Amino acid sequence: MEFALSAEQRQIRDMVSKFVDEEVVPVASEIDHDDEFPADLVDEMAELGLMGMPFPEEYGGAGLDYHSYAIGLEEISRGSGGLGTVVAAHTSLAGNMLYEFGDEDQKQEYLTPLAEGSDVGAFALSEAGAGSDVPAMETTATKEGDEYVLEGNKLWISNGSVADTVTVFAKTDPEAGNKGISSFVVRPKEDDGFIVEGTEEKLGDKGCPTAELRFDDLRIPEDRLLGEGGEGFVQALKTLNGGRITIAARGVGIARAALDEARDYANEREQFDQPIGEFQSIKHKLADMDTKIQAAKLLMHKAADKKIRGEDYIKASAQAKLYASEVSREVANEGIQIHGGYGYTKDFPAERFYRDAKLNEIYEGTSEVLRNTIGDQVLEE
């Protein structure tokens, strides 16, 4: 068992960390305040190969292993939780759908610009009445000649209003339950009938636009179908399994930012003529925060390791995402507490970390749904 990062993994971490410290941290409050998609940062990340980290170089990616990708995502999220979602939705969800289920032509045409970062990707699964309950979706894709006609609405789609490529799930056989769902490549800037209804005003995760989409007589050629018809539900679950490792990474990154900030504050802030970090209650909070982060990182890397080895990693990725998400929220909460009154204001980023962390417990499988997944597996073992 090897717990140390390889030389290449350390190099990736240091490169992304430097970029985040120099380019992301200084503008993170501005992103949070303005809530605008940080296109310039995305361009810079594309230059560094950070928009296609896990994909092979032949498709424009950086060819990194999943540990390195998770480390990169962790670092980006340490700078900005919203930017973490931008990259995770683009890469783990949209990009991975194309990489895993696209044919060679689809990979060349749609994955390569995503991995190079000239295109932005989104993954449109959820609907108003179909979040955890995916098969309840109502969007349909009807075959007419050599086209599919998409009709319906999608909700909460990260990057949805800025994306060049969206992987969309729709029912091709509404009577067949989860076996009647298929997935498609949609190109919002080329396909008529793709309508952005608006974006959500959210608690956190600012900078990543969360869009409501409508498909109105949206006609796409039949070669935009990903894989075989009826495989969409299984494709979505497989994609989310991988995605959860990077949402764990987002949780770890935000938690680390919250701990760093709280530690600095505990060393500087004096009350009763001593730094507050000298009070045992504060020191113990810092100890618990760090311990939980270390444990979350181990679960994240364990899931990545299983994925790399080609082992079943459904339980491992659910556990990593569940635990890292709860740790992220708990650590950010303690970060505010350590800051006292200042933590409750916008003078310090502690409150931003808390707002950004909370989302982790909701998307890509709520904590309740992940406990169902893990519990089902435990019962079978």
**Binding interface with ligand FAD (CB under 6 A):** 89, 123-126, 131-132, 156-158, 202, 205, 210, 359, 362-364, 366, 368-369, 372
Closer CB to ligand FAD, residue 131 or residue 230? 131
41-59 b/e with 16+ CB inside 10 Å = b? bbebbbebbbbbbbbeeeb
Closer CB to ligand FAD, residue 299 or residue 359? 359
SS3 196: strand
* Residues paired with 143 in a beta bridge: 148
Closer CB to ligand FAD, residue 151 or residue 278? 151
The C-alpha atoms of residue 327 and residue 315 are separated, in whole angstroms, by 18
Q: What angle do CA 288, 357, 291 make, to 5 degrees?
A: 15
Closer CB to ligand FAD, residue 65 or residue 164? 164
Closer CB to ligand FAD, residue 19 or residue 123? 123
What does the DSSP assignment read for 46-58? HHTTTTSTTS-GG
DSSP code of residue 5: P
**Which residue's CB comes closest to ligand FAD?**
131
Selecting among 116, 151, 364, 380, the annotated active-site residue is 364
Cβ neighbours around 285 below 10 Å, total? 20
CB of 89 to ligand FAD, least distance (A): 5
Q: Is 104 a catalytic residue?
A: no
* Residues paired with 52 in a beta bridge: none
CB of 316 to ligand FAD, least distance (A): 20
The C-alpha atoms of residue 75 and residue 61 are separated, in whole angstroms, by 18
- Determine phi and psi for 155, rounding to 5 degrees: -125, 150
Single out the residue of 115, 122, 109 nearest to residue 52, CA to CA: 115
CB of 296 to ligand FAD, least distance (A): 20
Closer CB to ligand FAD, residue 297 or residue 358? 358
CB of 210 to ligand FAD, least distance (A): 4
Count of positions (residues) in the chain:
381
Q: Are 180 and 249 in contact (CB under 8 A)?
A: no
CB of 59 to ligand FAD, least distance (A): 22
Provide the CB-side half-sphere exposure for 321 (13 A, CA). Answer: 29
CB of 28 to ligand FAD, least distance (A): 17
Q: Show which residues are catalytic.
A: 364
